[in-house]
Chain A
Amino acid sequence: MNLSIRSKIIAFVLPIIPALIIFSAMLESTHRESDALRNGIVQTYEVNNTISALLSAIQRAEIGERDYLIGHEKDSLDLYLVSVNDIESQLATLRRLTKGNPIQRLRVKELDALLQKELAALEKAISLAQTSPSEGAVTITLHTLAIEEEIRHILAAMANEESSLLSLRKSEFEQHRVEQQRIELMLLIGVAMLYLILAVLLIRSIAQPINALAIKANKMANGNYSGKMEELGTDELGQLSRAFNKATEAIQLRSQEAEDKQTRLQTVIESSIEGIITINNMGLIESINSMALKMFGFSKDELIGKNINLLMPEPYRSEHDGYLQHYKQTGVKKIIGIGREVSGLRKDRSVFPMELSVSEMNINGQQLFSGLVRDITERKNFELEIQNRESRYRSVITTVIDGIITIDKHGLIESMNPAAEKIFGYPLSEAKGQNLKILMPESYHKEYDYFLLNYKSSGEGKIIGSSREVKGLRKGGVIFPMELSISELHVGGELMFSGLFRDITERKRVDTMKNEFISTVSHELRTPLTSIQGALELMLSGAMGKVPDTCTPLLKIASNNSARLVRLINDILDVEKIESGKMELKLKAIDINQLVEESILANQAYGDEHGVKFNITKRAPPCHVLADSDRLIQVMTNLLSNAAKFSHLNSTVDVDVQIIQDLVQVSVIDYGAGIPDEFKDRIFNKFSQADSSSTKQQGGTGLGLSICKAIIEKLDGRIDYESEADKKTRFYFELPIHDQTIVENELAGDTPSEHILICEDDLDVARLLKIMLEKKGYSADIAGSAEQAKECLLKKQYAAMTLDLMLPGQSGIDFFKELKQTEGLSELPIIVISAVADGGKKQLNGDALSIYDWLEKPIDQNRLAMAIRHALRGKSDHQFTILHVEDDPDIVTLVGTLLKGKATIDVAHNLKTAHSKLTNSYDLVILDLMLPDGSGATLLPKLASKTPPVPVVVFSALDRTEDLGNSVDASLVKSKTSNHDLVQAIELILQRHTNLDKD
């Protein structure tokens, strides 16, 4: 049944309605019949009444007439008249009532006639009585008696008739009433039966499912969610059942979730690393998790329901109940919501520190407290350890011989240890809060201010973390040397600096003594050696006459060993210098090929002694390194002599020089025994040789390679070796290339070289240009005229073109203009070379920008190379390239922003990076003087040695213009220079140098 409940009810009710109508109609009809019967009875009664009234009226009329006849009284006459009227009205009533009964109607007609007669007689009698004596009237009256009798008779007949009618009608009525009651009863029963059926049906289709729902709901209430309600069709009940099922599912899900949550919570509580205990407001334990049990050493049963104070040592135990009581009465909390450290009591009566936090909850009206407890024994121990450590540190700090001072970010002294007090002569009480400047000579004040300022703004300081030598100022004005290292601290979010320093007055003195000692010792050793070696040399040279053959080998042994002793002394002095950081390097650009050749030449004699030939197998393209030539030769000598010493007799030692990216690599390769593996880790260590016997045998000092390593590293290079036993050993060092030209040439050699077109009608000049360009690593083609040049340009891709303005046929100027209009060639960089360059410049004025450079004959080779280089670089980037040497990122950002669009900026944050970057060419260098690894000023010689020299703008916090002299183009002081001034200065210098290049 897919009907809705409403439809069902309608379906049940509909058949009842016609039944009800039929029953109603039947009832209506019986009612109508009974009404008719009742009316008949009423009419009978009315007829009888009217008959009586008529009879009475007739009597009253006769009485009135008689009395009038007798007494002639007016009252009697009135009675008579009233009665006559009455008679007539009664008669009319009677006529109306008997209309439907023919028999009675006839009788009324008869009666009417009789009454008319009677009344006429009476009327006559009265008239007579008024006019004449009474006899006549009596006669008439007598006569009326008979009529009267007759009237009475008819009336009686009528009354009889009505009586019989009445009894008949009454019986009919009674009979009808019984019938009606029967019908009504039947009707009632019928309706009742119908409703009964309806009720049964409704119960079946509505109540049962609802009942089922109720049962299910009860089950659910008892927590049984299993099983689905069967679906009850599609009607509202169906919907209800589905909704109920949905609700059941939802409730089931929620309840599952709640259960899961509960389980999880339980698990969390159980697995919590903190103990969790709940107590009621009596202080009795309601629940306790495993951790808490473990912590206190009890089992669950031992604690549930027990007073929590069981877990507390005195005095907490006694206080606790009072505390709870107090809280209950006053609501004043002591622990609730606040964690605090208390002591706990284990089952074994041991006491341990714990952290407790209590929260209050109200569950179903029951006041509960949950306590989170954590065993903090370890933390306490740790804290104790820290305290101990701190006191140890403190005692170290107070007893250490180094001075320790802390200053705040404003540079004011915060603390000084006793050593610092002693060194400077100020007690802490006097120094505290004073500016650190009181402890330094005035020459340091400016730098110190700058340091603090710079640190505040950039968070960077060059002196942080590194140790350096400075001067200190004692109370009383004595200046002394000290070694200082500064570190940054953050104490409670506040920036602070701590300085650790040592008075090195004594060390300096010892240093000086040591230097003097070494110097003296070396002198004292060399002096006798001078005699020994001189004497031996004179004898061996034969200057003193012939030495017997048997003596010569012995003299040689003596001579060699004295020479070795001299080398050893020299090496020891070198090592001492390196270690004390006193090795000074006289840096200049050195042609590496040349240096290698010289070294080989100088050492060939030594090689010859070992029967070894030095052989250059590979040369680098011309290139320079920035180095101290003496030291570099020392390195080469060492490597060559080592190679010779460890080579087989009559073998060669190969030397190879090559460029690897921006480094030049020099390798010295021997084909001797190689270096044993176990020796590899310490080959560059002092006094290390593969075996000590070889040291003696080979006459080495064991210091050479460690000195080489120190020298090469000081030159920003790297030294290393690779060795294959009995095959070959290669020692090599790498140094940064000093000039970029060479790198470009080298690249040009590796990659297809850049083609330059020479458009020149004078063949001698053209050849000269070609040679010049080829020397610089370019390939060049010659075109004798504009026409030939066009042909070449069609055939090949050229990187640039030189152009003579005086050409046969089409003039250089016209050719130039034509090229600028030609698609694909308009961008070709053109270098104008002409005896009349100036005139051409005027003619090409509007187009001057498209020309990269102007050169006048006779041509300077370097100018040409530079012009080509600029042209090729300009092709990819028209902007200037600037190297900014600066360690302060804020300044870098500032300058970068100011020069945006004007130049491409490359940044070096320290000297070392700057050195390696300077292998590239720059149009300008902006230089900071105070760099983390030294003074920027040390870059100046390198910059000046470049061809052409790189313009330099010093932009530093220090005002050092005078010291730097002519080597810089501008010196700007950071705090005094506006952004505008900086940009203007840079632009001006760039412009000036560009013009210098061009003019």
Chain B
Amino acid sequence: MPDTQKIMYVEDEPDIQTIARIALEQIGGFDLLVCSSGQAALDQVSDFAPDIILLDVMMPEMDGIETFRQLKTLPACADVPVVFMTARVQTHEIKEYTDLGAVDVIAKPFSPITLAEQVKTIIQNVGR
């Protein structure tokens, strides 16, 4: 496992991107690639080869669910754990994500202070 873990964060909202950057890059020390759309993520995922993908659900054009499906069709990220990071966290919605194959769900609003720790824990759990 390389020293710096790579996170791909798919999020269309620039303000949240900013917060997440601080939380994950500055506080968490991750190698972070932020994609503003599902399509962008699909385009870059193979080159970037993230250790984990954080995926927003409500996005224009291609939503998180569809992005997830398409990501999973790519050999490069078939085994990459995906965490949904969304404000849509009603019980049935969470069930939908986990049924799809998401390893975890982080609810918005998230705490930027603890976000990095949260992600680390998830990576550890998945790796084990």
> In the bound complex, do residue A534 and residue B90 qualify as a contact, i.e. CB atoms below 8 Å apart?
no
A519 to B96 alpha-carbon distance, docked (Å): 14
Interface string of A564-593 (1 = CB under 8 A from B): 001000000100010000101000000000
> In the bound complex, do residue B110 and residue A534 qualify as a contact, i.e. CB atoms below 8 Å apart?
yes
A734 to B128 alpha-carbon distance, docked (Å): 41
> In the bound complex, do residue A530 and residue B90 qualify as a contact, i.e. CB atoms below 8 Å apart?
no
Greatest chain A CB density within 10 A among B16, B108, B110 is at B108
A538 within 8 A of B: yes
What are 11 pairs between A and B in contact, CB < 8 Å? A519-B93, A523-B58, A530-B87, A531-B18, A532-B109, A534-B109, A534-B111, A538-B112, A541-B113, A577-B90, A582-B92
A525 to B92 alpha-carbon distance, docked (Å): 19
> In the bound complex, do residue A566 and residue B109 qualify as a contact, i.e. CB atoms below 8 Å apart?
yes
Chain B residues contacting A531 (CB-CB under 8 Å) are: 13, 15-16, 18-19
A528 within 8 A of B: yes
A430 to B35 alpha-carbon distance, docked (Å): 63
> In the bound complex, do residue B19 and residue A529 qualify as a contact, i.e. CB atoms below 8 Å apart?
no
B27 within 8 A of A: yes
Closest 4 CB pairs of A and B: A526-B87, A534-B19, A531-B15, A530-B109
Interface string of A508-551 (1 = CB under 8 A from B): 00000000000110110111111111110110010110000000
Q: Considering only CB atoms, which chain B residue lies closest to A534 in the complex? A: B19
> Which of A528, A538, A573 is B15 in contact with, Cβ under 8 Å?
A528
Interchain nearest-CB distance for B91 vs A (Å): 6
Chain A residues contacting B110 (CB-CB under 8 Å) are: 530, 534
Chain A residues contacting B67 (CB-CB under 8 Å) are: none
* Further contacts, 15 of them, CB under 8 A, given A530-B87, A537-B113, A544-B22: A519-B90, A523-B57, A523-B58, A523-B86, A525-B87, A526-B87, A526-B108, A526-B109, A530-B19, A531-B13, A531-B16, A534-B20, A534-B109, A543-B27, A577-B90
| CB under 8 Å from chain A, chain B span 89-122 | 90-93, 108-113
> In the bound complex, do residue B23 and residue A538 qualify as a contact, i.e. CB atoms below 8 Å apart?
yes
A541 to B26 alpha-carbon distance, docked (Å): 13
> In the bound complex, do residue A584 and residue B91 qualify as a contact, i.e. CB atoms below 8 Å apart?
yes
B residues whose Cβ falls under 8 Å from a Cβ of A: 13, 15-16, 18-20, 22-23, 26-27, 57-58, 86-88, 90-93, 108-113
Chain A residues contacting B113 (CB-CB under 8 Å) are: 537-538, 541, 543
Chain A residues contacting B108 (CB-CB under 8 Å) are: 526-527, 529-530
A970 to B18 alpha-carbon distance, docked (Å): 60
A529 to B15 alpha-carbon distance, docked (Å): 10
Q: Considering only CB atoms, which chain A residue lies closest to B85 in the complex? A: A530
Chain A residues contacting B23 (CB-CB under 8 Å) are: 534, 538
Task: Report if A538-B88 is in contact (Cβ < 8 Å); known contacts: A523-B58, A530-B109, A530-B110.
Answer: no
> In the bound complex, do residue A522 and residue B88 qualify as a contact, i.e. CB atoms below 8 Å apart?
yes
> Which of B58, B88, B93, B109 is A533 in contact with, Cβ under 8 Å?
B109
A293 to B3 alpha-carbon distance, docked (Å): 115
Interchain nearest-CB distance for B73 vs A (Å): 26
Interchain nearest-CB distance for B107 vs A (Å): 8
Chain B residues contacting A520 (CB-CB under 8 Å) are: 58
Q: Considering only CB atoms, which chain A residue lies closest to B56 in the complex? A: A527
A523 to B26 alpha-carbon distance, docked (Å): 27
> In the bound complex, do residue B13 and residue A527 qualify as a contact, i.e. CB atoms below 8 Å apart?
yes
Q: Considering only CB atoms, which chain B residue lies closest to A583 in the complex? A: B91
Chain B residues contacting A532 (CB-CB under 8 Å) are: 109
Work out how many contacts link A and B, with CB atoms closer than 8 A. 72
> In the bound complex, do residue A527 and residue B19 qualify as a contact, i.e. CB atoms below 8 Å apart?
no
Chain B residues contacting A543 (CB-CB under 8 Å) are: 22, 26-27, 112-113
> In the bound complex, do residue B19 and residue A535 qualify as a contact, i.e. CB atoms below 8 Å apart?
yes
Chain B residues contacting A526 (CB-CB under 8 Å) are: 87, 108-109
A582 to B91 alpha-carbon distance, docked (Å): 10
> In the bound complex, do residue A523 and residue B16 qualify as a contact, i.e. CB atoms below 8 Å apart?
no
> In the bound complex, do residue A527 and residue B58 qualify as a contact, i.e. CB atoms below 8 Å apart?
yes
A162 to B110 alpha-carbon distance, docked (Å): 193
Chain A residues contacting B22 (CB-CB under 8 Å) are: 538, 543-544
> Which of B19, B57, B86 is A538 in contact with, Cβ under 8 Å?
B19
Chain B residues contacting A525 (CB-CB under 8 Å) are: 87
Chain A residues contacting B90 (CB-CB under 8 Å) are: 519, 573, 577
A residues whose Cβ falls under 8 Å from a Cβ of B: 519-520, 522-523, 525-535, 537-538, 541, 543-544, 562, 566, 573, 577, 582, 584
A172 to B46 alpha-carbon distance, docked (Å): 199
A188 to B15 alpha-carbon distance, docked (Å): 167
Q: Considering only CB atoms, which chain B residue lies closest to A533 in the complex? A: B109
A582 to B90 alpha-carbon distance, docked (Å): 11
Q: Considering only CB atoms, which chain A residue lies closest to B107 in the complex? A: A526
A584 to B95 alpha-carbon distance, docked (Å): 12
Chain A residues contacting B18 (CB-CB under 8 Å) are: 531, 535
A523 to B84 alpha-carbon distance, docked (Å): 14
A538 to B90 alpha-carbon distance, docked (Å): 27
Interchain nearest-CB distance for B103 vs A (Å): 19
Q: Considering only CB atoms, which chain A residue lies closest to B26 in the complex? A: A543
Interchain nearest-CB distance for B104 vs A (Å): 16
Chain B residues contacting A562 (CB-CB under 8 Å) are: 109
A534 to B112 alpha-carbon distance, docked (Å): 6
Greatest chain A CB density within 10 A among B13, B86, B109, B110 is at B109
> In the bound complex, do residue A537 and residue B112 qualify as a contact, i.e. CB atoms below 8 Å apart?
yes
> In the bound complex, do residue A522 and residue B87 qualify as a contact, i.e. CB atoms below 8 Å apart?
yes
Task: Report if A523-B91 is in contact (Cβ < 8 Å); known contacts: A528-B15, A531-B13, A538-B113.
Answer: no
Interchain nearest-CB distance for B78 vs A (Å): 28
> In the bound complex, do residue A523 and residue B109 qualify as a contact, i.e. CB atoms below 8 Å apart?
no
Q: Considering only CB atoms, which chain B residue lies closest to A518 in the complex? A: B90
A863 to B87 alpha-carbon distance, docked (Å): 49
A800 to B93 alpha-carbon distance, docked (Å): 55
> In the bound complex, do residue B16 and residue A534 qualify as a contact, i.e. CB atoms below 8 Å apart?
yes
Chain A residues contacting B19 (CB-CB under 8 Å) are: 530-531, 534-535, 538
Q: Considering only CB atoms, which chain B residue lies closest to A525 in the complex? A: B87
Q: Considering only CB atoms, which chain B residue lies closest to A531 in the complex? A: B15
Interchain nearest-CB distance for B123 vs A (Å): 21
Interchain nearest-CB distance for B84 vs A (Å): 12
A584 to B87 alpha-carbon distance, docked (Å): 19
Greatest chain B CB density within 10 A among A530, A541, A582 is at A530
> In the bound complex, do residue B87 and residue A523 qualify as a contact, i.e. CB atoms below 8 Å apart?
yes
Task: Report if A530-B16 is in contact (Cβ < 8 Å); known contacts: A523-B87, A537-B111.
Answer: yes
Chain A residues contacting B93 (CB-CB under 8 Å) are: 519
Interchain nearest-CB distance for B96 vs A (Å): 11
Interchain nearest-CB distance for A464 vs B (Å): 32
Chain A residues contacting B86 (CB-CB under 8 Å) are: 523
A791 to B37 alpha-carbon distance, docked (Å): 85
Chain B residues contacting A584 (CB-CB under 8 Å) are: 91
Chain B residues contacting A529 (CB-CB under 8 Å) are: 108-109
> In the bound complex, do residue A527 and residue B87 qualify as a contact, i.e. CB atoms below 8 Å apart?
yes
Q: Considering only CB atoms, which chain A residue lies closest to B112 in the complex? A: A534
A527 to B108 alpha-carbon distance, docked (Å): 7
Interchain nearest-CB distance for B59 vs A (Å): 11
Interchain nearest-CB distance for A575 vs B (Å): 13
Chain A residues contacting B58 (CB-CB under 8 Å) are: 520, 523, 527
Chain A residues contacting B87 (CB-CB under 8 Å) are: 522-523, 525-527, 530
Chain B residues contacting A538 (CB-CB under 8 Å) are: 19, 22-23, 112-113
Q: Considering only CB atoms, which chain B residue lies closest to A529 in the complex? A: B109
Interchain nearest-CB distance for B10 vs A (Å): 14
A537 to B23 alpha-carbon distance, docked (Å): 10
Chain B residues contacting A537 (CB-CB under 8 Å) are: 111-113
A537 to B57 alpha-carbon distance, docked (Å): 23
Q: Considering only CB atoms, which chain A residue lies closest to B115 in the complex? A: A534
Greatest chain B CB density within 10 A among A529, A534, A535, A584 is at A534
Q: Considering only CB atoms, which chain B residue lies closest to A576 in the complex? A: B90
Interchain nearest-CB distance for B119 vs A (Å): 15
Q: Considering only CB atoms, which chain B residue lies closest to A574 in the complex? A: B90
Q: Considering only CB atoms, which chain A residue lies closest to B58 in the complex? A: A523
Q: Considering only CB atoms, which chain A residue lies closest to B111 in the complex? A: A537
Chain B residues contacting A535 (CB-CB under 8 Å) are: 15, 18-19
A657 to B16 alpha-carbon distance, docked (Å): 43
Chain B residues contacting A544 (CB-CB under 8 Å) are: 22
Chain A residues contacting B92 (CB-CB under 8 Å) are: 582
